[in-house]
Amino acid sequence: MVPAISKKERLLSEIRKQVEQCIRCQLSQTRTNTVFGEGNADAVVMFIGEAPGEDEDKTGRPFVGRAGKLLTNILHSVSLKREKVFIANTVKCRPPGNRAPKDEEMQCCFPYLEAQIAVINPTLIVTLGGVSTAFLMDEKISISKIRGRMIEWRGGKKIFPMYHPSFLLRYQSQKPGSPRYQTWQDIQEVKKTIDLVLLAGNGNE
């Protein structure tokens, strides 16, 4: 039997179709595939990274390279499956040479992310790395200073910045105070939020 598609999934599919045809910014000229994002349309938590890289551009899926595998492992460390959260980026097309997306590109692409957030309606938005954090908060602040803090954001939502997995790949130490250790602390906070929301009966995760 074909599983029924929820209203949220249908709405996300409509946004995806728009993204696939989008030529609003120059990144459309060099992409192989758009990377819409993937996961649970009812997710309590959305993870938002910077931009698709080479592997993501090839496959059309977010966070599938080395950094993506690390993100998956970070989620698994608190018994979270990728399919239970929603994973996206600030831009849907790969910046050439994996450069950071320009502010005007993120602005141009933001209506899609905004629409995804509106449909999914997550309680928590985990920004991965300084670029997506600064963009959504509209404020430049060092990720090492702001990670692990719950920050009020638009209409009752919260932003929770964490290190980007590609940054963590540079550090192997898991000693207290190291970026990997801090990330392990952070993901436990994320899991606590999910558990609280589910306990209150406000999510389908």
> Where on the chain is the footprint of ligand SF4 (CB under 6 A)?
19, 22-25, 27-28, 34, 91-93, 105, 108-109
Whose Cβ is closer to ligand SF4: residue 24's or residue 157's? 24
Kindly report each contact of residues 10-16 with a partner whose C-beta sits within 8 Å and lies 24 or more positions away, as own/partner. 11/119, 12/41, 12/116, 12/119, 12/120, 15/112, 15/115, 15/116, 15/119
Whose Cβ is closer to ligand SF4: residue 59's or residue 72's? 59
The whole-angstrom separation of Cα 171 and Cα 166 is: 10
The whole-angstrom separation of Cα 63 and Cα 53 is: 8
Please state, in angstroms and as integers, the Cα–Cα distance from residue 199 to each residue in 11, 79, 158, 176, 205, following that order: 27, 16, 18, 30, 11
CB 125, min distance to ligand SF4, A: 18
Whose Cβ is closer to ligand SF4: residue 31's or residue 84's? 31
Whose Cβ is closer to ligand SF4: residue 8's or residue 102's? 102
CB 21, min distance to ligand SF4, A: 9
CB 179, min distance to ligand SF4, A: 28
**188, two tokens:** 């436990």
The whole-angstrom separation of Cα 42 and Cα 145 is: 30
Strand runs labelled E in the chain: 38-39, 45-49, 86-89, 124-127, 151-153, 157-159
Whose Cβ is closer to ligand SF4: residue 84's or residue 92's? 92
Residue 159 forms beta bridges with which residues?
A: 125, 151
Whose Cβ is closer to ligand SF4: residue 97's or residue 155's? 97
